[in-house]
Amino acid sequence: MLDNESSSEYSDFLHDLQSVVAERVEALRAAQSAMTPRAFQDDEKVVMDWPELAGRVVEELR
Amino acid sequence: MAIRGSLTEASLPDVLQLLAMGKKTGCLGLTYANNFGYIYFADGAITHASLVNRSLDTEETVYVLFTWTQGTFNFEPGVTPDEGVHTTAIDPQSLLLEGARRVDEWTLIAKKIPSFDIVFAPDRHTLLANERPLTPEEEVIVPLLDGQRDVSALIADSGLGEFTVGKTLYGLLSASLIARVGVSQRGKTAAAPDDKVTEHRNLGIAFFKTGMYEEAAREFRRVDSLHEDDPVASFYLGLVSLRQEQWAAAIHAFERHAAHGVPRAAVFSNMAYAYQQLGDLTKAHTAIEKALSYGGRGDPVIQTNAAALAIAAHHHDAAETALAAARTLWGARRPPAAWYHYAGLNAALTNDLDRAIAILTEAVQSYTSVAVLWNNLAVAYEARGDFDTAMQTLERGLVEEPHLPQLHRNFADCLQRAGRFDEAREAYRRAHTFDTAS
């Protein structure tokens, strides 16, 4: 069982850790955002070409 | 997936009941010798039916089709009637009983009236001596029996439909009130070349619309042999080749059209599509520019095609202009899924993720079953850092299309990020499997 002093230290440690984790997550998100165009140029992630003729091919002689 | 079969193995009533029970939407094409008919369905109900080179209403058409006991059928899901075509909603079950009765009766009628080029004339002596009052149908038919009109002409001029005309003639013949006097000139001589071209052309278009591409190509090649450089034939031969992913053959057919026909925007736009599939973006660009200059600027499908080509060439401003033009041209109508796809993609590629998400969210609300739209929406969420929504979006897409490799790869990325490594490995493996299969 922790005494009052130790409990306070642990809370401070958790508080510090929380802010560090938050900073790291934000940094990761920023890095992801900066990579947006690249993610959308990767055809292993994005479907680039519409897979059907409908919508691109005209099937009436006009 | 298309359903094909032989009418000797599965009769039309069987097929109709199957499509009705399955609440199918699409087009059932039937072919018998040189005849072709089609029946459109929406949620299992018959909405429209027609016979090529004949003019009958939907019910009469289905009854005629019931008499076809040989030939083939092909059901193409998702195909709907052309705009402007009169549609209705008939429960196929309601036609089965009357259809069966007519088939039985027609077997008897066909023994006395084996073809539609027979000419009948009234037997005046018997008619004068006849004391039985004529039926309302006989009152219509008898005055038309002039010794010149054949059965086809009687059907056309009476407006009664071929079953009623056949049945009426059968009754008159049985009572000896009329007699066969010969066959029409149409029956004796071969059809004029122009008529044959029209017949094969109409058949080809009908085959094409119902997804019977081999049969359509056969008919258009016949048109070509009868009428060299027929513009409709070369256009449709190009379309058949596109459907069969034969890009070079499609280009050849469209170029033949361009060399001999009036320049058409549709021909150049489709040619541009085929060039892109072959990887020749330069020629694709030249062709789409021609399409736009020949009236394609006013066509939303051609503008969408131009946008897709511009995206492939990394000309995102040009793509945006074409997409905006297409959207304006559709007006109050909902744009097709392809437009949403390219509009969302172009927004994302220009780093406007919020707009990409807005466009693709609207898209999946309208086209819920299109997994490609769900996938790209998920990537947009992922790129914006909204990983939970990305994962939910991918799960939704996988419900619609469990074999799309991109969905599995993106799902694996999400699982990896969440520390669910074993599940991620499995998802990567599935992505690889489906990627190899496709």
- Can you spell out the DSSP letters for B92-157? HHHHHHHHHHHHHHHHHHHHH---TTEEEEE-HHHHHH--SPPPHHHHHHGGG--SS-BHHHHHHH
Contact B32, B46 (CB under 8 A): no
Contacts of B299 in chain A (CB under 8 A): 58, 62
- The whole-chain average pLDDT of chain B stands at 90
Cβ of A62 within 8 Å of Cβ of B265? The answer is yes
- For residue A10, the distance in angstroms to the closest alpha carbon of chain B comes to 26
Cβ of A46 within 8 Å of Cβ of B375? The answer is yes
Please tell me which residue of chain B has the smallest CA distance to A40: B349
At B107 the pLDDT is 87
Contact B46, B58 (CB under 8 A): yes
Give CA–CA dist B138/B171, Å, rounded.
9
Could you say which residues from 259 to 318 on chain B have a Cβ atom under 8 Å away from some Cβ of chain A?
264-267, 269-270, 273, 295, 299, 301-302, 304-305, 308, 311-312
Query: Is the confidence metric ipTM above 0.90 for this complex?
Result: no
Residue type, A23: E
In angstroms, what CA-CA distances link B420 with B71, B356, B416, B426, B427?
56, 28, 6, 10, 11
Least confident of A7-11, B162-166, B199-203: A7-11
pLDDT at B191 over 70: no
Separation of CA B280 from chain center: 29
Confidence of residue A62 (pLDDT cuts 50, 70, 90): confident
Residue type, B54: R
Confidence of residue B274 (pLDDT cuts 50, 70, 90): very high
pLDDT in tens, A6-58: 667 777 766 776 766 666 555 555 544 444 457 787 888 999 999 999 899 99
Mutate to test the interface with A, among B351, B404, B407 (most CBs of A within 10 A): B351
Let me know the angle formed at the C-alpha of A45 by A40 and A48, rounded to the nearest 5 degrees: 60
Strand partners, B27: B40, B76
Contacts of B372 in chain A (CB under 8 A): 47, 50-51
Which H helix or E strand runs over B55? none
Residue type, B265: A
Strand partners, B74: B4, B29
Average pLDDT score over residue span B212-226: 91
Q: Which residues of A touch B (CB under 8 A)?
A: 29, 32-33, 35-37, 39-41, 43-62
Give CA–CA dist B382/A29, Å, rounded.
9
**At how many degrees (to 10) do helices B58-66 and B92-112 cross?**
60
Confidence of residue B161 (pLDDT cuts 50, 70, 90): confident
Share of chain B above pLDDT 70, in %: 98
Please tell me which residue of chain B has the smallest CA distance to A32: B383
Residues with Cβ within 8 Å of residue B413, at least 6 apart in sequence: A45, B382, B424
Least confident of B250-264, B320-334, B396-410: B250-264
Q: What is the CA radius of gyration of chain B?
A: 28
Tokens read off for A5: 């002093």
At A35 the pLDDT is 46
- For residue B86, the distance in angstroms to the closest alpha carbon of chain A comes to 19
Confidence of residue B247 (pLDDT cuts 50, 70, 90): very high
Instruction: Quote the pTM value.
Output: 0.70
Cβ of B406 within 8 Å of Cβ of A58? The answer is no
